[in-house]
Amino acid sequence: MIKRVLKCNKGLTGEITIPSDKSISHRAVMFSSLAKGECTVKNFSSGADCHSTLNLFKQLGVNIDFTDEKTLKIKSEGTLIPGSNNIYSCGNSGTTMRLVSGILAGQNFDSTLTGDESLSKRPMKRVIEPLTLMGAKIESTDSHAPLYIKGQPLHGINYSSKLSSAQVKSCILLAGLNAEGETVFTEPYVSRNHTELMLDYLGADIKVDGNSVTISSSELEAKDIYVVGDISSAAFFIVAGLIVPNSDFVIKNVGFNSTRSGIIDVVRRMNGNVEILNERIVSGELCADIRVKYTEFLKSCTIEGEDIPRLIDELPVIAVLASQAEGETVVKDAQDLRNKESDRIKCLTDELRKIGVDIEEREDGFIIDGKKRLKGGSELESYHDHRLAMSFYVAGLVSENEIAINGFEWTKISFPEFEQLMEKLS
């Protein structure tokens, strides 16, 4: 599908409610499936990735039903039951595959995790290696899916990761939930902590000390969960509001977890006009509304180090923001962008150059010389990557000429409501 985007000449105004957080939606299904009892999950994500998780746990014997479009009733005995052929599809979802591998490694049955063509190219060594240290038996082809997991008892480990990754951390904590002894996971910088917050909310024996998390074998308590809005989805609207003249709108119900709000810190460093309103705690997560106003004089900044785990998914749209900021914006220490749905560093660089962005590819990021007029007038390739497709859409709103985005249907993987909400503000 090719999507054509025209320059927005009248500004974005009004109010939208951002869809539910995908990271929390994944975990709500997984953790509630491991808890004995019945609970309600409200505001569940409509993204295809989260439905991959939902369908997988249905195959594992968990009773999951929708009571309306966004509300789930989950009833579990606290134990998983192998499906008829023990083969479970994760679709396009790296979160599903990496986290579920930690759950399945310690079961008393064997299983196989498969994925689509894109997921089968993504690296799984980062979870296979520490799980193996815990006693897991996992076979693969060059550390890529499918993963053949021989379920057996696990033991705790003290693991220091070279990479700050919420998916790796969550995988090992979930394995530790069903392992003998303590499991300690330490990372260079604190990555998103939805797993720690939700496990604590559900009664796990879990302790956080700086960059280290310790978990012991625990039984989870079934509790109702309300999923707050996704700040990664809100990021596209935040950037659009800052760069489209005459914009002024409010985004409601945005998850404001400190390990995910790096986009707000960067926007403020760049002089962006954002205001945080109505902060509150919902099911253990901080939530707020965000007012965004057009900012004429954006300035460049450097994004590096501990910034990166807090905004790794937002870097493609931050590149669009940087193109409209005065000076040179530098992104570094972000080499893991090359291991996403696409090589986001190379693909972003190649495509943004087509419409007039002055961007230089680096091994671990990119450099953008900003405040350049975007000429548009080109067809951009999404590379089957939903975040690239939506970032290019935002760039199209300030391009002099129409741009076309090839493969725009991939936005439905994470954000099927994206275009509808953008049109609501237009």
Mark 18-40 as b/e (b = at least 16 C-beta within 10 Å).
bbbbbbbbbbbbbbbbbbeeebb
Task: Determine the Cα–Cα distance for residues 388 and 380; give it in Å rounded to an integer.
Answer: 10
**Helix orientation angle between 315-323 and 231-243, rounded to the nearest 10 degrees:** 10
Q: Using DSSP, how many helices (H) and how many strands (E) does the chain show?
A: 12, 25
Whose structure tokens read 């499991």? Answer: 183
Query: What's the one-letter identity of residue 393?
Result: Y
Is 313 among the residues known to form the active site? Answer: yes
Question: Which structure tokens are listed for 154?
Answer: 């696990």
Round to the nearest angstrom and report the end-to-end CA distance of the chain: 22
- The whole-angstrom separation of Cα 285 and Cα 208 is 16
Starting at the edge strand found earlier in the chain, the sheet holding 358-362 runs 302-303, 328-331, 365-369, 358-362
Cis, peptide link before residue 316, omega less than 30° from 0: no
Catalytic residue among 49, 313, 336, 385: 313
Q: What residues are annotated to the active site? A: 313
